[in-house]
Amino acid sequence: MPKLTSVYRLDDIESWEEAIAVAGLTIRRGGLVAFPTETVYGLGANALDEAAVAGIFRAKSRPPNDPLIAHIADFQQLSQIAEDAPPIAFEVAQRFWPGPLTLVLKKSKRIPANLTAGLGSVAVRMPSHEVALALIREAGVPIAAPSANLFSRPSPTSAQHVIDDLDGLVDVLLDGGETPIGVESTILSLIDDRPRVLRPGGISLEGLRAVVPDLRFAPSYLRDDAPAAPAPGGLLRHYSPNARVLLFEGADDAQVYTAMRAEIARHERVGVLASDAEAAAFADLNVIVERLGANSEEAAQRLFAALRSLDQRELDVILARAPRKAGLGLAVWDRLLRASVGCLVKV
Ligand code: AMP
Ligand code: MG
């Protein structure tokens, strides 16, 4: 018999209490719970239970060399996850937790090896979403959770996206509506001499630099010392829709739009991801435009839903203009680059 996913909508106090109680029990018994965070939906299991963590990799078809993030609800739980955290870790945590910042630290011995893909370091964050915090507290253990999508698909920003990918593969889904930030956390590694941002995300680089002045932006696809095999989780191919994504980059609006229009003319079924301001440049063409709003916060919030929506239209190609790499724009740029598997057209 196929397993069923129990879906709880967190509309009122009564449904909330029952849902959190069932979900917390499910985690304690080694099951899987999908839940909203302020970034995207997570697929959670008891971070201290190796078999439960293995269930996450199975449900997502995630390769075992891609480590997970452990989620905590208070500072005491940090000692179950990490050891020898340097002083800078506490400074950034004080400033940005709860919130969309993940720290990579030396791993505690209590953490099962599969959670960290065998690495000596571990990724940890304290989310700010009230459902995520209530779930971790109710479960009484840290919760390991990657994004609740099938491996390499766009991350889920609504309960429907989780159902589309994982119905029957997860025990409980907590439906808390759309996630407010829409892109994953910023990952800051504090295990080397110099702090390194491995993935841009919900906390801007500018904001982090105010606390960590010697920060380096070093996602694995930009590192010159990148090993032959990509670093764990640094795979360029990610967030990919089925259609090919082409990313256009250039300073001159008119030149970029001309290049994009020429590309559109080469295909039958074309989707375009465009900000409100850019959409007008394609209004006279037979293309499907998904609007990403007026600024980088709106673009981050809408990006994955827009990619999923275009994906259902059986398109030949999806075009987007690379956003400015400021604020949340850097995270949007990173996700688009990875959705395009590096297909960057410089204009
Ligand atoms: P997801 O929650 O799906 O975005 O996946 C978590 C991501 O965290 C992984 O893909 C890695 O990029 C990153 N990560 C987790 N643990 C580590 C670690 N120990 N070192 C470096 N990156 C990590
Ligand atoms: Mg993910």
Model confidence pLDDT, tens digit, residues 143-193:
999 999 998 889 999 999 999 999 999 999 999 999 999 999 999 999 998
Residue 231 has a pLDDT of 44
Residue 233 has a pLDDT of 46
Ligand 1 test: best mutation among 198, 223, 238, most atoms within 8 Å of CB? 198
Contact 157, 37 (CB under 8 A): no
User: From ligand 1's centre to the CA of 219, what distance in Å?
Assistant: 11
Residue 252 has a pLDDT of 95
- State the closest ligand 1 atom to the C-alpha of 107, by its place in the atom list counted from 1: 19
Residues 6+ apart with CB under 8 A from 221: 230, 234, 236, 337, 338, 342
**Strand-pair category, 270-274 with 288-291:** parallel
All residue ranges of the chain with pLDDT < 50 are: 226-233
The DSSP line for 226-279 is --SSPPTT--S--S--SSEEEEEE-S-HHHHHHHHHHHHHT-SSEEEEE-HHHH
- Give the Cα separation of 79 and 54 in Å (integer): 22
pTM greater than 0.85: yes
CB of residue 115 inside a 6 A radius of ligand 1: no
Ligand 1 test: best mutation among 40, 65, 104, most atoms within 8 Å of CB? 104
**Strand-pair category, 143-144 with 6-9:** unpaired
CB of residue 319 inside a 6 A radius of ligand 1: no
Residue 336 has a pLDDT of 94
